[in-house]
Chain A
């Protein structure tokens, strides 16, 4: 992975893209992701930590106060001295001033170009880049096996009493237990889902917006991570 950013899903629409060669027009479904500038808060390298990574902070939220350790971590990264930080934390705690809502580490191949306190934004992505988008899917609640695991279910008619039930869940006296990993009803959704290899259709730097092709997991306003 070369780079990554934290963004927010804004919504979906479609755009028309013209092929210059033969003037054909394609209608492409896109998801709009808003990426406000992220800040590099920590850099990890192979010497010290055993792997290369950057930690980014995003989504300044004035209602989120943040715990003291988080505030300390963020302000050290942004280059404040110890005394200033203590003053600042006292002030912020009394006045409820923002800190970053999301801190996320991205494992990268090379971190030499990053410095602590740098801002990272949409400019590092270009039209045509292939990216992975990570998000948390919508929660579906407690669901049966047909919806959750795509079981076929039983016949609807002909006197059948087995409609949406899972059927047998195992063998008899041996092994007299249910095998681990057996697909059964339960909570569905709210999983971390990675959509791999989707192209970036357009980048609008003045609006801090990236358009990727197709859908991505999660509802509108969900936090998503884009990796290149």
Chain B
């Protein structure tokens, strides 16, 4: 990556820096998104496990997976997007992988993530 490209990314990232909690892959999170419909806007929540974190700076994204009515739903959010207003970390997960794609093949009990307990 050229230096100029880094400068450009930083140029736009500056204004976006916001106080987000630190979270890792395996954590259970609730993401609040600003949804605009016409002239009205409201907050919408999406709750699930983080199965992927990707990219740096302005290009960083994370993917949240939840199983809703027996159907797996995954949503990818740009980490620094202004429409992601708030992220709540509900549970810390104990995982040994950086990408939890194996959860896609699991169902029920085996699709759980162990909770990380601090000593």
Contacts and interface: CB of A to CB of B under 8 A. Distances in A.
Interface of A: 10-11, 13-16, 18, 21-25, 27, 32, 34, 204, 207, 209, 211, 220
B36 A24 contact: yes
Interface centre among B11, B12, B16, B58 (most CB of A within 10 A): B12
A16 B5 contact: no
A13 B2 CA distance: 13
B8 A207 contact: yes
A209 B8 contact: yes
Given A15-B12, A16-B78, A209-B8, 13 more contacts: A10-B4, A13-B8, A13-B12, A15-B58, A23-B36, A23-B41, A24-B34, A24-B36, A32-B4, A204-B8, A207-B4, A211-B8, A220-B2
From DSSP, what is the main secondary structure of chain B's interface residues? mixed
Given A22-B39, A23-B34, A13 B5 contact: yes
A208 B7 CA distance: 12
Given A32-B5, A204-B11, A25 B81 contact: yes
B108 interface: no
A158 B11 CA distance: 57
Contacts of B58: 13-15
B38 interface: yes
Nearest to B4: A10
B98 interface: no
B94 interface: no
Contacts, number: 57
A16 B8 contact: no
Interface string B29-70: 000001010110100000000000000001100000000000
Contact of A16 (B4, B38, B39, B80): B80
Contacts of B72: none
B83 A25 contact: yes
18 contacts: A10-B2, A10-B5, A13-B9, A14-B58, A14-B78, A15-B12, A16-B16, A16-B78, A16-B80, A16-B81, A22-B39, A23-B34, A23-B36, A23-B41, A34-B4, A207-B7, A207-B8, A220-B2
